[in-house]
A and B are shown apart, each in its own frame.
Chain A
Amino acid sequence: MQIRFRKGRDFDMGPAAANTPAAVRAVRRVGLEFRGFPGLIVDALVAEGDPLRRGQTLCVSRHHPEIAFVASAAGRVSRIRKGARRRIETIEIAVEGDEECRFDVEPAQTDDAALRALLLQSGAWVAFRTRPFGRIPAPADQPSAIFVTATAGTPLAPDPAQVLAPQLDAFARGLEALLRLTQGAVFVCQPPGPALVTPRERLRIASICGPQPCGLPGPHIHRLWPVSAQRSVWQIGYQDVAAIGDLLSTGRISVDRSISVAGPGCDRARLLRAPLGAELAGLLDETQQSEKRLISGSALTGREQRFLGRHDLEVTVMTPASDAPRGAVRGLVAWLRQSGTGATLPSEAFERLFPFDLLPVPLMRALAVGDIETVERLGGLELLEEDLALLSWRCPSGSDYGSLLRRALDRLAEERAP
């Protein structure tokens, strides 16, 4: 199955990493950021200063204590940072030693319930995100399909075919495990080229091409298996699937991910293998570290944070925003732009950036006024924050439709909760 998207737009953010094997990078600190998990509250099972083995449970979800977050490196808990209402925001680990936990994978090879238990306990479960709502699925949840995103989200992200080439066995084993989590189909969305896995009845391949944001799972799901209030799917990244395959064969969790470090603030784009949650500053060369903004994810959809986000495979290095523009004309233009209007100007450009069969301007208006019924009617349940990044970029009002959508989705999810 081939899908070609025409709408969207690619940005020139500098050269991508060359097709060389990823250099393994040891980091001194890793951290778990909970900002990327909407609607999640966790309870810590460790305290500051505790020694840790790799794979040891750090904390569990308060609503579903079966869902565990595990340490991606051995070491010591150096800090547990709390935010508003004393919710845990980040758990930081100072890396030392190489001790690790082993998991009993025998029962999981045949028993579906044991497989779920293994994924939950080993921290692999949190790689799944549901659509609608973009949350970690409940332990007993049965999705109507699972989407494996094996497309590069942006031009700077690592090439999935290259990353997976040495891990195809593990990837196939991971897909077998995914097939046991759902009654429905497992879709593998990959770039054009040789199929990453042989398709079968419930295992389908879609090759995808098109400009940004067509590498993101949102457009794939919308085209292949649209979700609604009655029908949910899970999405997961290709490296997490390979990690599940590794776990099932070795009994040890696989924490290293191939990530790209690139962007306008970076002298040379490079491909690295670094652990989940690696400290971003540790991924740069020593000489480059001064005065950079590090974004976990792409320039449009990422977040400026200290540690690599759980779902991110890309670090964008930006130079800090320059000072006020110089020159009379540029100053005047900047001044006129600053006095923006705060309302959407419904130009045709939005349709050209939005690869969904949804109506962007009515949706943006509904989001701006917080009308969640209309958001739902216009297909808001099919979207996550990242799908609206280009609309926010283009909109003269300066609204961030991603965070408006998150608010709407959280309210809709609350209404649905039993």
Chain B
Amino acid sequence: MSDAPRLWSGSEALVTLVAVSAPLVATILQQGPARLVFLALGLGLATFWHLVFARIRRRWTGWDGLVTAAIFAVLVPEALPLWQQGLALSFGLVMGDLVFGGRGRGFLSPAAVALAFALFSFPVSAGAAPGPASAIAALAGGAALLLARVLSWRVVAGFALAMAALQLLQPGWPALPGATLILGLVFLIGDPVAAACTNAGRWVYGALAGALVALLETAGGGALSSVVFAALLAGIFASLIDQGVIWDNVRRRARRQRHG
């Protein structure tokens, strides 16, 4: 390849950073400067861990930790003390992403790992739920990611279908999607690193995540913990789903060649 008209290196991180800034601003406006303090701490921590791993590995692994920190800052319960938030974010950055060699080499969304750590270790009440402004901002961010094809519409459609199907089966289940759910879908479940990487697999992955969210929510989890743990579980199953799709593709091509 000699002279491609445009290169995509690093653009995904930029697009995601732009997309997450809308709900970030909405959250900060709603909850005041406390978030701003944590956002600053989070960005500092992300830079710190990236520098540490760049030194250990002797190669720079990109700026994606900043995106992780921003997503975490939007979703983390505000009642959590600052040091606990910092600990959880560090865990997510290191164990969810950097130990694997950076963005694109792990198999889970680092923000989901960080949030799961926080929810497991320091149970607090979720506090005030994000308001409608956050929901609208989350939708705008999701639309931007869909347009940039970072977020797959197949994951979103599979997710919505599964949730709708479960609603129909059991009408008592949670009705309107709140801001937390949208944010979780766009930034945690929809993270391309965590999601399945084949088109058929994306449908299955989205549906699995949707079903898990609905199940966990009826089982009594809050909106945040349901979406976070659904993202983790679905992410763990994503490679298995892809293996199924690969197996089917190989079998179909072999059959076509025998009869072709």
What is the interface of chain A, defined by CB distance below 8 A to chain B? 11, 13, 225-226, 228, 231, 293, 295, 299-304, 316, 318, 321, 333, 336-349, 351-352, 357-359, 361-362, 365, 377-379, 389, 392-398, 400, 402
Q: Which residues of A contact B198 (CB under 8 A)?
A: 351, 359, 361-362
- Is the pair A338, B246 in contact by a Cβ cutoff of 8 Å? no
Q: Mark interface residues in B154-196 (1 if CB within 8 Å of A CB, else 0).
A: 1000000000000000000000000000000000000011010
B9 on interface, CB distance cutoff 8 Å: yes
With contacts A336-B13, A337-B9, A359-B246 taken as known, whether A344 is within 8 angstroms of B4 at the C-beta atoms is no
Q: Which residues of B contact A349 (CB under 8 A)?
A: 149
Query: How many Å lie between the Cα of A300 and that of B193 in the bound state?
Result: 27
- Is the pair A336, B63 in contact by a Cβ cutoff of 8 Å? yes
- Is the pair A341, B103 in contact by a Cβ cutoff of 8 Å? yes
- Is the pair B104, A397 in contact by a Cβ cutoff of 8 Å? yes
How far in angstroms is the closest Cβ of chain B from A313? 16
- Is the pair A395, B8 in contact by a Cβ cutoff of 8 Å? yes
* Residue of B9, B198, B257 most packed against chain A (CB within 10 A): B9
- Is the pair A226, B3 in contact by a Cβ cutoff of 8 Å? no
Q: Which residues of B contact A301 (CB under 8 A)?
A: 1
What is the interface of chain B, defined by CB distance below 8 A to chain A? 1-14, 59-64, 101-105, 149-150, 152-154, 192-193, 195, 197-199, 202, 242, 245-246, 249-250, 252-253, 256-257, 260
With contacts A299-B3, A337-B11 taken as known, whether A347 is within 8 angstroms of B152 at the C-beta atoms is yes
- Is the pair A359, B3 in contact by a Cβ cutoff of 8 Å? no
- Is the pair A358, B9 in contact by a Cβ cutoff of 8 Å? no
- Is the pair B249, A348 in contact by a Cβ cutoff of 8 Å? no
- Is the pair A341, B62 in contact by a Cβ cutoff of 8 Å? yes
* Residue of B62, B102, B250 most packed against chain A (CB within 10 A): B62
Q: Which residues of B contact A357 (CB under 8 A)?
A: 249, 252-253
Which 7 A-B residue pairs are closest in the complex by CB-CB distance? A343-B104, A340-B9, A346-B197, A361-B197, A337-B10, A341-B62, A393-B4
Query: How many Å lie between the Cα of A303 and that of B2 in the bound state?
Result: 6
* Contact of B7 (CB < 8 Å), options: A304, A377, A398: A398
Query: How many Å lie between the Cα of A302 and that of B153 in the bound state?
Result: 34
Query: How many Å lie between the Cα of A397 and that of B63 in the bound state?
Result: 13
- Is the pair B14, A348 in contact by a Cβ cutoff of 8 Å? no
* Contact of B10 (CB < 8 Å), options: A226, A341, A344, A348: A341
How far in angstroms is the closest Cβ of chain A from B12? 5
With contacts A336-B10, A359-B245, A362-B198 taken as known, whether A347 is within 8 angstroms of B257 at the C-beta atoms is no
With contacts A231-B257, A357-B249, A362-B197 taken as known, whether A348 is within 8 angstroms of B152 at the C-beta atoms is yes
- Is the pair A295, B10 in contact by a Cβ cutoff of 8 Å? no
* Residue of A336, A346, A378, A393 most packed against chain B (CB within 10 A): A346
Not counting A226-B256, A340-B9, A343-B102, a sample of 10 additional A-B residue pairs whose C-beta atoms are within 8 angstroms of each other reads A299-B3, A339-B63, A342-B102, A343-B101, A346-B197, A347-B150, A348-B154, A352-B149, A362-B242, A378-B250
- Is the pair B1, A300 in contact by a Cβ cutoff of 8 Å? yes
Q: Which residues of A contact B5 (CB under 8 A)?
A: 11, 13, 299, 393
With contacts A341-B62, A358-B249, A379-B253 taken as known, whether A333 is within 8 angstroms of B102 at the C-beta atoms is no
A selection of 13 A-B contacts at a CB cut-off of 8 Å is A226-B253, A226-B256, A302-B2, A339-B10, A342-B102, A347-B12, A348-B149, A351-B198, A362-B242, A393-B5, A393-B8, A397-B104, A402-B1
- Is the pair A346, B8 in contact by a Cβ cutoff of 8 Å? no
- Is the pair B3, A318 in contact by a Cβ cutoff of 8 Å? yes
Query: Residue of B at shortest CB range from A365?
Result: B197
Query: Residue of A at shortest CB range from B155?
Result: A348
Q: Which residues of A contact B6 (CB under 8 A)?
A: 393
With contacts A341-B102, A348-B153, A362-B246 taken as known, whether A336 is within 8 angstroms of B14 at the C-beta atoms is yes
- Is the pair B202, A348 in contact by a Cβ cutoff of 8 Å? yes
Q: Which residues of B contact A394 (CB under 8 A)?
A: 8
With contacts A293-B3, A345-B103, A348-B152 taken as known, whether A396 is within 8 angstroms of B10 at the C-beta atoms is yes
- Is the pair A341, B253 in contact by a Cβ cutoff of 8 Å? no
Query: How many Å lie between the Cα of A361 and that of B61 in the bound state?
Result: 21
How far in angstroms is the closest Cβ of chain A from B101? 7
Query: Residue of B at shortest CB range from A321?
Result: B3
How far in angstroms is the closest Cβ of chain A from B237? 15
How far in angstroms is the closest Cβ of chain A from B249? 6
How far in angstroms is the closest Cβ of chain B from A84? 21
Query: Residue of A at shortest CB range from B149?
Result: A349
Query: Residue of B at shortest CB range from A340?
Result: B9
How far in angstroms is the closest Cβ of chain A from B194? 10
Query: How many Å lie between the Cα of A393 and that of B246 in the bound state?
Result: 24
Q: Which residues of A contact B202 (CB under 8 A)?
A: 348
- Is the pair A226, B260 in contact by a Cβ cutoff of 8 Å? yes
- Is the pair B64, A341 in contact by a Cβ cutoff of 8 Å? yes
* Contact of A347 (CB < 8 Å), options: B4, B61, B192: B192
Query: Residue of B at shortest CB range from A302?
Result: B2
With contacts A346-B192, A389-B1 taken as known, whether A377 is within 8 angstroms of B13 at the C-beta atoms is no
Q: Which residues of A contact B193 (CB under 8 A)?
A: 345-346
- Is the pair A348, B2 in contact by a Cβ cutoff of 8 Å? no
How far in angstroms is the closest Cβ of chain B from A329? 11
* Contact of A225 (CB < 8 Å), options: B4, B102, B149, B260: B260
- Is the pair A348, B11 in contact by a Cβ cutoff of 8 Å? no
Q: Which residues of B contact A226 (CB under 8 A)?
A: 253, 256-257, 260
Q: Which residues of B contact A228 (CB under 8 A)?
A: 257
